[in-house]
């Protein structure tokens, strides 16, 4: 396994673990914020879910430039 491939695998694993933790705790986060403001709870929930896809989109753009 080349160093570049290993680095990519580690980066993908870290991103997936981080996203998995966020998605696991997402209901508690949204409900907690939703008690304060339902609209803010929706916005935070949507931002966290879209952030998962944005990370991979940005990473793909970075890899394409290399």
Nearest CA to 63 out of 31, 1, 15 is that of 15
What's the total number of domains in the chain?
1
Q: Give the per-residue pLDDT at 52.
A: 83
Please give the residue range of the domain that contains residue 12.
Answer: 3-65
pTM of the model: 0.69
Q: What is the pLDDT of residues 13-45, one digit of tens each?
A: 998 898 889 889 999 999 999 999 999 999 999
pLDDT category at 5 given cuts 50, 70, 90 is confident
What tens digit of pLDDT does each residue of 45-61 get?
999 889 888 988 888 88
- Under 8 Å between Cβ of 30 and 7: no
29 CB-near residues (< 8 Å, 6+ apart):
44, 45, 48
């Amino acid at each position: 396994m080349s160093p570049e491939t290993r680095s990519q695998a580690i980066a993908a694993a870290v991103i997936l673990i981080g996203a998995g933790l966020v998605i696991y705790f997402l209901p508690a986060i949204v409900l907690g914020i939703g008690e304060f403001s339902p609209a803010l709870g929706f916005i935070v929930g949507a931002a966290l879910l879209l952030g998962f896809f944005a990370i991979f989109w940005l990473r793909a753009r970075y890899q394409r430039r290399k």
